[in-house]
Amino acid sequence: MIIIKNLDITYPGKRKVKAVDNVSLEIKKGEIFGIIGLSGAGKSSLLRAINGLVRPTSGEVWVDGVEITRLSSKELLSLRQKIGMIFQHFNLLDSRTVFGNVAFPLEIGGYPRERIKKRVMEVLELVGLLDKADSYPRELSGGQKQRVGIARAIAANPKILLCDEPTSALDPQTTGQILKLLAEINRKLGITIVIITHEMRVITEICDRVAVMDNGRVVEEGVVTDVFLNPWHPITKEFVNTVISKELPEEVLLQARTKRPDREVLLLRFAGNTANEPVVSRIIKETGVELSILYGNIGHLKDVPYGILAVEIFGDENKRDKVRQILHELSVKLEVV
Ligand SMILES: Nc1ncnc2c1ncn2[C@@H]1O[C@H](COP(=O)(O)OP(=O)(O)OP(=O)(O)O)[C@@H](O)[C@H]1O
């Protein structure tokens, strides 16, 4: 759906800034693709290159089979009908009602009046704001404003929805509701969603794949579970630590440091189906080791369960080798603490 090849974006000026540095990415039809990075990493510039709001210095951007960096301004305007966008600060028109805001892109697109009315009501229902059609933005909460932003962005049936930090101005509870709504829109309408953020929660709750940006470059990319269960770049590790802390509590570390020949402390990392398997009971039954759980942290990456478990096992070398073998068979990642 979106292919980015060797993209460079350098802003001119006394001190030139290379905001995007040789980025190549492929975003598939129907997926939710997250781009995470610290402030200044180049996320906004990259996102805006997808709908031509920022012109790259070099490289290519293909959207639905069209190379957009070669399009004229007029052609770009018509391409933007296929691409909706929502913003951190909503960017609503204060002088228009909710209805008027959502109708705006349809009016520009030259839709007939009756069709506009029908479509606006449809999308307002989808985002749960039918009763606010006649309200003004100043009368709405942040979450409601973002719902209007979403309704406006999808009104013209775009194939792609670009989201620029859509939850950064919202409280945690409202963030959850907006993320659910975005996931629902992706599922029901099949719209491809690209979302930039500095919040890990956005990635873990709704994204299928993720790219991590640092200093203009994509430093790590892949399926969310793969990237976040095995991060290798320091920036990715930092982000991951904010939600899946591998930092073990001090008392667990103390216990692990007390050496005994018949005992070791293992840190197990599960993902996907193995998180549902009765790993612990299988180990005890099949190896005869004694096992106690010292620490556990179980959660979800989108719909995939993951877990981290620190366990203490007692048994001779043979039994402990067997434990490793079983864990290997179950694709459970293992570290000796
Ligand atoms: N229009 C511009 N002119 C000059 N420099 C710019 C412009 N837009 C962005 N930059 C610079 O490009 C770099 C990347 O900015 P960008 O906004 O793309 O990053 P970001 O990851 O989205 O950061 P943030 O989350 O803070 O917006 C920064 O150093 C920024 O100062």
* Pairwise CA distance, residues 280 & 293, whole Å: 9
Q: Is 101 in the pocket of ligand 1 (CB under 6 A)?
A: no
Q: Which of 18, 59, 61 is nearest to 215 (CA)?
A: 18
Q: Is 269 in the pocket of ligand 1 (CB under 6 A)?
A: no
The ligand 1 atom at the shortest distance from the C-alpha of residue 165 is 25
The yes-or-no verdict on residue 244 having pLDDT over 70 is no
Least confident of 4-8, 45-49, 273-277: 273-277
Which residue has the least CA distance to atom 29 on ligand 1?
40
Prediction pTM value: 0.85
Q: Is 147 in the pocket of ligand 1 (CB under 6 A)?
A: no
pLDDT reported for residue 217: 97
Q: Which CATH architecture has domain 2-243?
A: 3-Layer(aba) Sandwich (3.40)
pLDDT reported for residue 306: 78
What is the crossing angle of helices 142-154 and 172-189, to 10°? 20
- Best substitution site from 45, 198, 235 to test ligand 1's pocket, by max atoms within 8 Å of Cβ? 45
pLDDT reported for residue 328: 86
The yes-or-no verdict on residue 258 having pLDDT over 80 is no
Average pLDDT of the residues of the chain? 90
pLDDT reported for residue 273: 65
* Pairwise CA distance, residues 263 & 261, whole Å: 6
pLDDT reported for residue 251: 79
| Contacts made by residues 141-145, CB under 8 angstroms, sequence distance 24+ | 141/174, 142/90, 142/169, 142/170, 142/171, 142/174, 143/170, 143/174, 143/177, 143/178, 145/90, 145/92
Tell how far the Cα of 16 is from the centroid of ligand 1, in angstroms: 12
Which residue has the least CA distance to atom 31 on ligand 1?
40
Tell how far the Cα of 216 is from the centroid of ligand 1, in angstroms: 9
The yes-or-no verdict on residue 69 having pLDDT over 80 is yes
Whether the Cβ atoms of residue 249 and residue 289 lie closer than 8 Å to each other: no
Instruction: Say what the ipTM of the complex is.
Output: 0.95
Q: Which of 176, 166, 178 is nearest to 129 (CA)?
A: 178
Q: Is 134 in the pocket of ligand 1 (CB under 6 A)?
A: no
CATH dotted code for 250-336: 3.30.70.260
Which tokens belong to 28? 């598939």
The yes-or-no verdict on residue 336 having pLDDT over 90 is no
Query: Which residue would you say has higher pLDDT here, 109 or 48?
Result: 48
Q: Is 37 in the pocket of ligand 1 (CB under 6 A)?
A: yes
Q: Is 19 in the pocket of ligand 1 (CB under 6 A)?
A: yes
The ligand 1 atom at the shortest distance from the C-alpha of residue 11 is 4
Q: Is 197 in the pocket of ligand 1 (CB under 6 A)?
A: no
Give the CA distances from residue 257 to residues 69, 253, 254, in Å, rounded to whole numbers and listed in that order: 58, 6, 5
Q: Where are the domains of the chain?
A: 2-243, 250-336
> Looking at residues 180-194, what average pLDDT do you find?
96
